Amino acid sequence: MLYRIVMATNNQNKLREAKKILSPLGIDVISQKDAGVHCDPNENGQTFEENAKIKAGAVYDIAKQPVIADDSGLCVDILDGRPGVYSARYAPDGEKCSKLLDEMKDIPDEKRMAYFECCIAFIDENGECHTFSGRCEGKIGYEEKGTNGFGYDPVFVSGDKTLAEMSADEKNKISHRGAAMRELYKYLKESYGE
């Protein structure tokens, strides 16, 4: 049985979400800081999977215990998948949505499709890496709506609301990160569950 996984992040939202999903398996998820690991790897991969592996590998090399890392972003069809792996660097927080709305201002409704993608890399106790992905399909709206969530949530429409208009539980059920986490959960349950 696995008892503890280090998460290659200091983001408390990601940590809380992972703890919630993996605690029924008796697995405790701790932050890299609490594991005494200080590193800031260069996320220079071309894909979410490459970046998740880079982050997990950097922490595993120091901690030498099971690690998970995730990488995610928004891909807009009409922008050829941008901002994609550059989602965090596209604009400062607080300006991401307005910059995207500006880029999309002349794009008609039927061409506003987009999706969030998340890849989770899990490095097990033998140093082997396994990856799990999830997607959340939707559209870019015309204005910012809602105050929950973060990043591009206020302009990402799924069904009849934006992700920022949903509760955390509602978003978790349909989100890219929730889907990837559930895949990881299934794998850990099959491999380590009693």
Q: Which residues are catalytic?
A: 71
Q: What is the token pair recorded at 165? A: 């208009």
Angle at 80 between CA 49 and CA 154, to 5 degrees: 80
Complex with ligand IMP: residue 95 or 109, whichever CB lies closer: 95
Residue, CB closest to ligand IMP? 151
Give the shortest CB-92-to-ligand IMP separation in angstroms: 10
Interface positions with ligand IMP (CB under 6 A)? 70-74, 87-88, 96, 116, 149-153, 163, 175, 177
**70 vs 124 by CB, closer to ligand IMP:** 70
53 close to 121: Cβ distance less than 8 angstroms: yes
In angstroms, what is the minimal distance from the CB of 34 to ligand IMP?
18
Residue 83, preceding peptide bond in cis (omega within 30° of 0): yes
Quick one: which of 167, 193, 107, 172 has its CA closest to 142? 107
Kindly tell me which of 2 and 165 has the beta carbon lying closer to ligand IMP: 165
Minimum gap (Å) between residue 3 Cβ and ligand IMP: 26
Helix/strand/coil for 140 = strand
Question: From the CA atom positions of the chain, what is the Rg in Å?
Answer: 17
Cα 132 to its chain centre, rounded Å, is 11
Sign of CA dihedral 146, 166, 12, 187: negative
CA distances from 99 to 10, 144, 152 (A): 27, 11, 10
- Closer of 171 and 185 to ligand IMP (Cβ): 171
CB of 164 to ligand IMP, least distance (A): 8
